[in-house]
Amino acid sequence: MYLAPLQDIILSHKLNCMFYADDTQIYITLDPNSPACSTDILRSCIEDVISWNTKNMLKCNQGKTEVVLFSSRFSKNYELLPTFSFGNNTISVTKEARNLGVMFDENLISMSQINLICKKAMLAIRSIGRIKKYLSKDHLACVVNAFVIPHLDYCNSVLYGLPKSQLDKLQRIQNVAARLVKGVLKQDHITPTLKALHWLPVEKRIIFKILLMTYKSKCL
């Protein structure tokens, strides 16, 4: 409620925004024919945000400000905005940014996000593997479900529609986790193991998440 007037300031510039506990995101569509006009609007908006925060005894961490230009990998829009300046700051346009734990890259191909998921999940699997001998099968399954599977499920709806080659990376992580729980060999077929654990494959987990959110939204 304290920050509610800030939204009115951003909307007065005809921009979209999103507020979090300690983060403000501003969105603008960049006109490729006149990028300077779009960046001037964004710059003016950011300066008004900083001014409002200063007047209301809040401090902006300008050093953590990031700018990302989302575009098709087949276009040359990255040349439109090499740097962005506001106030006394000039920052380079970054190629990716974190949003609620999800990495968004400039072409929205989610490669960075998938690599991050694989890294976190494999670290958890290796850690669990070190203590596996001290756990019963039921406890081992609980630990894997608590510390590995959430990495595959978190915000996985943003991965819908990605090429199979990218989703296969996540599927291999799930297969390793399943083999860890059931103690099956690498050359054994993984489908019976996934069925025994009642785990949907990665691609179907993504579809299930979207269907579940759709169902819940219709029930509200």
Residue 217: is it exposed, middle or buried by C-beta count within 10 angstroms (0-12/13-18/19+)? exposed
The confidence score (pLDDT) of residue 73 equals 77
- Residue 84: pLDDT band (50, 70, 90) is confident
pLDDT > 60? residue 124: yes
CA distance 7 to 16: 9
The answer to whether the pTM exceeds 0.95 is no
- The one-letter code for the residue type at 126 is R
Task: Label residue 133 by pLDDT band (50, 70, 90).
Answer: very high
Is the pLDDT assigned to residue 207 strictly greater than 90?
yes
What's residue 66's pLDDT?
85
Dump pLDDT digits (tens) for 160-177: 999 999 999 999 999 999
